[in-house]
Amino acid sequence: MASKRPLLRENIHRLFDEAVSTDLGPGIVSLIESRATHAQIREVPVERILPNPAQPRLSYEEDSLTELANSIREHGVLQPILVRPIGSQYELIAGERRWRASRLANRESIPAIVVDFDEETALEVSIIENLQREDVSPLEEAGMYRKMTDLGYSVRQLAQKIGKDKGYVENRLRLAEAPAEIRELVSVRKDTISHAYELMKLTDDRLRRRLAKRVAAGELSLAKLRAITGGDEGEPVATKGPRRRARTMAGSLAAARHADDALVDTKGKLASAVDELVDLLRHPDVIEQIPDVNRSNLAKYLTITRLKLENAIAILRAGLAE
């Protein structure tokens, strides 16, 4: 069997070369080449295809499926799906949207790459194929990462496989294990993923649930939430200084204008941040929601900030005295 593997790999690779319209990534093709025992392209009856019971996708937008079905009625299925034989039927591995849309379009058959391999490989291919989609929700993505680690992938291996940063994968895995109210928040509002990570810092279940509801209702900005959790902005607070210019009159004037614009911009951001913080702290309910430890840390942080501001004032006054 070992001697047949190189030839089998070559035949499978040629198969995917012929299926130039397939949207399977090179990582998936490589995985199939290394594990498949047989592969071919054929028209498969739509009704003989079974959905993947381990399908990692949780939902599909109906409008999107309808649009795809209309396109299939007019142009046919341009990209073959991926299936594996199960007795007299076929189990879907990749291309579920095309299969569902083909059913909506009342097609009798669909072009498919039929590959013979085990359940574990089928699950890996299905997960990796879905992770390459742009419309995967954060929760779906988190669940897929968890399944991949259950299959034996380390965080580093998984990050390399899907082309993501290791820290990105670790954060999504945290989301997979997040409390129910946080997962519900992200499922309702995908734009609250940063809020979710902040909420996961809280150990007080009751407080976390209350804050999650406020975030879902749009009552709590990320900056205000970070003030409560004691989290950092995670953004640079200063920009790089202007590049050194030649000592010419034009260069000096340009540098002065750049510095002046930067100071005006920074002053505006500082005033806005202070006003927002003071306005936030004036609400008794907000103060009550901040744990004692975080309240103490915030007070220390503001004290340090005050010292920095006093230092900036001293620098300005010294410059005026010269």
DSSP notation for 241-252: PPPP--SSHHHH
Domains in the chain with CATH codes: 2-131 (3.90.1530.30)
CA distance 314 to 322: 13
**Residues tagged active-site:** 96
Contact of 135 with 34, CB cutoff 8 Å = no
Tell me whether strands 38-45 and 109-116 are parallel, antiparallel or unpaired: antiparallel
Contact of 33 with 9, CB cutoff 8 Å = yes
φ, ψ for residue 83, nearest 5 deg: -135, 165
Q: Which uninterrupted H or E stretch holds 303?
A: helix 292-321
Whole-angstrom CA distances from 111 to 19, 27, 44, 130 are 10, 21, 6, 19
What does R_g of the chain's alpha carbons equal in angstroms? 28
What is the structure's pLDDT at 28?
A: 65
What is the structure's pLDDT at 133?
A: 67
CA distance 99 to 107: 9
89: tokens are: 């039927």
77 contacts: CB under 8 Å, gap ≥ 6: 98, 102, 107, 110, 111
CA distance 55 to 123: 8
Contact of 52 with 28, CB cutoff 8 Å = no
281 contacts: CB under 8 Å, gap ≥ 6: 227, 287
CA distance 211 to 206: 9
What is the structure's pLDDT at 234?
A: 41
CA distance 178 to 133: 23
Whole-angstrom CA distances from 311 to 61, 239, 245 are 56, 19, 27
- What's the burial of 111, exposed, middle or buried (CB within 10 Å: 0-12/13-18/19+)? buried
DSSP 72: H
Contact of 145 with 173, CB cutoff 8 Å = yes
Q: Which residue has the tokens 């579920």?
A: 96
- What's the burial of 35, exposed, middle or buried (CB within 10 Å: 0-12/13-18/19+)? middle
Per run of 10 residues, the mean pLDDT along the chain (length 322 residues) is 49 52 59 71 92 64 82 88 90 87 93 84 78 76 87 86 86 91 89 91 90 90 85 41 42 51 71 78 74 75 80 72 54
Half-sphere exposure of 201 (CA within 13 A, CB side): 16
Overall pTM > 0.85: no
Closest CA to 212 of 201, 203, 224, 220: 220
80: tokens are: 């073959």
